Chain A
């Protein structure tokens, strides 16, 4: 479900954050705890956590314990470190290569997409110009386009230019995030007061300088949010690199791990690398979870700051 991943809590941004913190009565309602609700909620959390616990437990087991011991507890041997060594030793350390590729593709795409979206969103929000409405509706309409509709012809176009099987074949298409433009427009409309721009103009600052020195700072919290989610979208992308890349050295983690998993089905040459795949999967989600927990906080303080300033 790739489209989901590109999306952002829009309402969180579009509602005027300024009114939130102050008008809420914080303490009163929160006092009455419900044990019943607490139990229900924690039971539901079990559903979300069990697969992740299973993944951790499984990454501590060797290939045969994987299937013969209970999935939510350790096996007789603690094999985690041995598995990690195997993951990094596989094909001369190609796993590390995949990790670096993923960071490169996701990082460059996220920064690029955020910059493009911020500039466009800012212009849509703060300037009136012929074609404003039309171009904006075109952008909105683009959100609905299914990704394969683009991936196939993009592949054909790229290969006629000889840039398939290069990092650019994954990065270039990921630079376009119509939804991010929409968000930044909504966010810029609230976060950048027109009076500030007028003041800059009176001082004789150029439009681009106003953008870089005044607006960009105000837009930062929105940009972090957009960047976080475009980062996740590229990090998680599977279809595009699957189509575009051939060399094992260029693959991101998603395609690499899926390919590793598929070696178990290669007929005569098949290798059952289940514990390697599982440990590789476990390791690959750690940075993302950490980034999420960390950026989650950043993103929320970002919203709060935006609120105070507004």
Chain B
């Protein structure tokens, strides 16, 4: 406290000076983001000596993540590298987390060394220069150990920007009992079948076949991904591609508009108390969701154990099955880190060493991105009672192979999703014109991109 009191006194007296300095244009922290580039071997790669030195020097790392129980993986890391101690902080969920990471890393103090990011935000953080290129640290060697479409999500312009942790290929979780009561015995194979099933469920039960949450941009985008739509693109420089209202995207949403306006699916906000109750009490007979959901659901809807089953998404083209992705996250090292080698090692080790990586799959119930974990019988052969003993992980492992690898994100997904809620999401909530919702989203994204200095390609 005494130390703190002095700090505070210094604060009061110096704050005016700081302002005066800034006002006079003497900005000293113009490039706080940069860190001492590792020098060593001639090709810029970290040498083994440097690595050894960094990992045996007593070091404190900070790791910002929302993953519950990640302390266990971190403890394994600390046991493997006793010189390194790691402080785990949860600074908020969703956009709160991202804004904390950004402000801290731009303010030049208080930023963590390693952060949790969803895959979809890697580009957004790369564009502002906050992520450390992991290539010199040896990250390229890991490429073959991960599912190809996931690895593509962390690579941009020859740089490796993060280590994958989990992913969320989309599938269909459904209540076998409700569908059976409605007269649907097989999970719908095509979207046309799905509509028929939705009508049966609506006619014969009190349930909806699923809930399409209006504010769940990442889930909706995953459905576009499945349909082969390419709404976003970024060339790594000044050019972005925005095409959320193309003919292919409109085809997908017109399908949903039909279901929504005929009251065949509900449009409640998700992850609310009401929605949890909807899952528990059979208001929703299914959920089009990601691979991280099966185990989450078995906790969230515990009352309905044994009644759920998993299947791939219904298909647009049964001969060419495909899926999209929703969520899944990575660990990245911030440029602001003062201990980049140790920080990289943390990000790599907990997601690459078999023990912690498998622990993510079995304890946090994350859907693995590392091939050896996907194939590990401890993961793949699980037969959870919640799904009547079905090998759910196997189902999603199969789905993961059908995810299109050529997907790209915009470099400003935080704005893109809040804008989504105001445009397309609002149209869904109002059971209105979804196509117009896409147009509004497109216009809003273009305006923002231009405002931010990007060149927009159609």
Contacts and interface: CB of A to CB of B under 8 A. Distances in A.
Given A266-B94, A270-B300, A271-B68, A161 B293 contact: no
B351 to A, nearest CB: 15
A217 B107 CA distance: 45
Given A161-B10, A247-B89, A167 B4 contact: yes
B168 A268 contact: yes
A147 B33 CA distance: 29
Interface stretch (B11-19, B184-192, B424-432): B11-19
Contact of B7 (A166, A267, A268): A166
Contacts of B66: 266, 269
A272 interface: yes
B280 interface: yes
A271 B277 CA distance: 14
A64 interface: yes
Interface size class for chain A?
35 or more
A171 B9 CA distance: 12
22 contacts: A155-B107, A160-B107, A161-B11, A161-B14, A162-B109, A164-B110, A168-B7, A172-B12, A259-B90, A259-B93, A262-B93, A262-B94, A265-B93, A265-B271, A266-B68, A268-B292, A268-B293, A268-B365, A268-B366, A269-B68, A271-B299, A272-B300
B93 A160 contact: no
A69 interface: no
A296 interface: no
A208 to B, nearest CB: 21
A163 B11 contact: yes
Nearest to B32: A160
- Those 8 A-B pairs whose CB atoms lie nearest each other, nearest first: A268-B292, A159-B107, A265-B271, A168-B8, A262-B93, A162-B109, A246-B91, A67-B277
Interface in B91-117: 91-94, 96, 100, 103-104, 107-110
A262 B296 CA distance: 15
- Name which of A66, A155, A159, A164 has the most chain B CB atoms within 10 A of its CB: A159
Contacts of A271: 68, 299
Interface in A131-184: 155-168, 171-172
B227 to A, nearest CB: 22
A302 interface: no
B446 interface: no
B168 A172 contact: no
Interface of B: 4, 7-8, 10-12, 14-15, 18-19, 29, 64, 66-68, 89-94, 96, 100, 103-104, 107-110, 166, 168, 271-273, 276-277, 280, 290, 292-293, 296, 299-300, 303, 327, 364-366
A156 B290 CA distance: 38
B380 to A, nearest CB: 18
Contacts of B276: 264, 272, 274
- Name which of A171, A268, A269 has the most chain B CB atoms within 10 A of its CB: A268
A263 interface: yes
A200 interface: no
Given A268-B296, A268-B327, 14 more contacts: A64-B280, A64-B303, A160-B18, A161-B10, A164-B104, A164-B107, A166-B7, A172-B11, A248-B89, A262-B92, A265-B272, A266-B271, A267-B271, A268-B364
A160 B108 contact: yes
A157 B108 CA distance: 11
Contacts of A167: 4
- Name which of A66, A158, A167 has the most chain B CB atoms within 10 A of its CB: A158
B114 to A, nearest CB: 14
A56 B267 CA distance: 31
Contacts of B364: 268-269
Interface in A238-284: 242-243, 246-248, 259, 262-272, 274
Nearest to A243: B103
Nearest to A63: B276
- Name which of A67, A246, A263 has the most chain B CB atoms within 10 A of its CB: A246
A247 B89 CA distance: 6
A168 B109 CA distance: 16
